[in-house]
Chains A and B, each alone.
Chain A
Amino acid sequence: MRLLRCGDAAVLVEVEDLDQAMRLYAAANQHPSPGVVDLVPAARTLLIRIDPTATTPQAVADYVQGLRPVSGQRADQGESVLEVTYDGPDLGEVARLTGLAEQEVVDLHSEGRWTVAFTGFAPGFGYLVGGDDRLNVARRSQPRTKVPAGSVGLAGEFTGIYPRESPGGWQLIGHTRAALWDVDRDPPALLVPGTRVRFEAVG
Chain B
Amino acid sequence: MASELEVVQTGVLTTVQDAGRPGLARLGVSGSGAADREAYALANRLVGNGGGAAAFEVTLGGLRLTVRGRVTIAVTGAPTSLTLDGRAVGTHCAVQVSDGAEVALGTPEVGLRTYLAVRGGVAVPPVLGSRSTDVLAGLGRPLQAGDVVPVGTATEREIPAVDVAPVPRPQGGDVELRVELGPRDEWFTTEAVRLLREEPFTVSSDSNRVGMRLEGPTLTRSRDDELPSEGTVPGALQVPADGQPVLFLADHPVTGGYPVIAVLVNKDLSRAAQARPGQRLRFRIVGKGS
Contacts and interface: CB of A to CB of B under 8 A. Distances in A.
B230 A124 contact: no
A29 B253 CA distance: 22
Contacts of A193: 26
Interface string B206-226: 100010000000000000001
A183 B139 CA distance: 8
Nearest to B235: A7
Given A156-B226, A164-B138, A37 B231 contact: no
Contacts, number: 153
Contacts of A124: 27-28
Nearest to A4: B183
A10 B229 contact: no
Contacts of A6: 182-183, 233, 236, 260, 263
A199 to B, nearest CB: 20
A49 B233 contact: yes
A119 B26 contact: yes
B151 interface: no
Interface stretch (B17-25, B100-108, B270-278): B17-25
B230 A10 contact: no
A100 interface: no
B228 A121 contact: no
Interface residues of B, number: 48
A47 B266 contact: no
Given A7-B233, A8-B265, A142 B242 contact: yes
Given A121-B253, A183-B128, A9 B27 contact: no
Contact of A120 (B138, B210, B254, B265): B254
Contacts of A88: none
A5 B231 contact: no
A123 B28 contact: yes
Interface in B180-199: 180-184
A47 to B, nearest CB: 3
B183 A12 contact: yes
A166 B241 contact: no
A139 B241 CA distance: 9
Given A9-B266, A122-B28, A44 B230 contact: yes
B288 interface: yes
A52 B268 CA distance: 13
B84 interface: no
Give the interface residue-count category, chain A. 35 or more
B287 interface: yes
B264 interface: yes
A121 B183 contact: no
B255 interface: yes
A155 B137 contact: no
Interface in A131-164: 138-143, 145, 155-158, 163-164
B29 A123 contact: yes
Contact of B255 (A4, A9, A40): A40
B123 interface: no
B142 interface: no
Contacts of A39: 25-26
Interface in A43-64: 43-47, 49, 52
Nearest to B288: A5
A138 B29 CA distance: 25
A42 interface: yes
A143 B246 CA distance: 11
B242 A38 contact: no
A88 B179 CA distance: 38
B180 A5 contact: yes
B191 to A, nearest CB: 19
Contacts of A189: 27-28
Given A5-B180, A43-B230, A138-B226, A155 B27 contact: no
25 contacts: A4-B183, A5-B263, A6-B182, A7-B179, A8-B287, A9-B266, A10-B231, A40-B231, A41-B231, A42-B229, A42-B230, A47-B25, A49-B22, A119-B26, A121-B256, A122-B254, A123-B137, A139-B241, A141-B242, A145-B206, A156-B226, A156-B228, A167-B136, A183-B128, A193-B26
Given A37-B22, A52-B266, A120-B254, 19 more contacts: A6-B236, A8-B287, A9-B233, A38-B31, A40-B231, A42-B231, A47-B232, A49-B233, A119-B26, A120-B28, A122-B254, A123-B28, A142-B241, A143-B258, A145-B206, A156-B228, A167-B136, A169-B240, A188-B128
